[in-house]
Amino acid sequence: MKTLILAAGFALASGAAMAESCKIEAGAKKLAGAAQTSFMKKCEKDAKATCDSQAAEKKLAGAAKNSFTKKCVKDAVGS
């Protein structure tokens, strides 16, 4: 039960954090060079984890899961 509550809390927090795209957030923080690259990689990794969990919640599999995750990450990263 605790795991379910933690997972739900994480999903809500991650969804709120990804309301802005990673590119917008990096621009707001005025990141450049290696700092921007590092931030973007971490942001994309976090977005993929969140999107994978959302796909699992929707019980997607195969091509549907891949398509959903790809679009979800693209939207979150802002590319």
pLDDT tens track for 16-74? 444 589 999 999 999 999 999 999 999 999 999 999 999 999 999 999 999 999 999 99
Average pLDDT for 5-13:
44
Range of the domain at 18: 2-77
Cβ burial, residue 62 (10 Å; 0-12/13-18/19+)? exposed
**For position 20, what pLDDT does the model report?**
80
Contact call for residues 40 and 22 (beta carbons, < 8 A): yes
Q: Number of folded domains in the chain? A: 1
pTM (2 d.p.): 0.69
What ranges in the chain are assigned the alpha helix state H?
Answer: 2-17, 22-28, 33-57, 62-77
Distance CA 32, CA 53 (A): 30
Residue 78's pLDDT band (cuts 50, 70, 90): confident
What's the token pair of residue 66? 């891949």
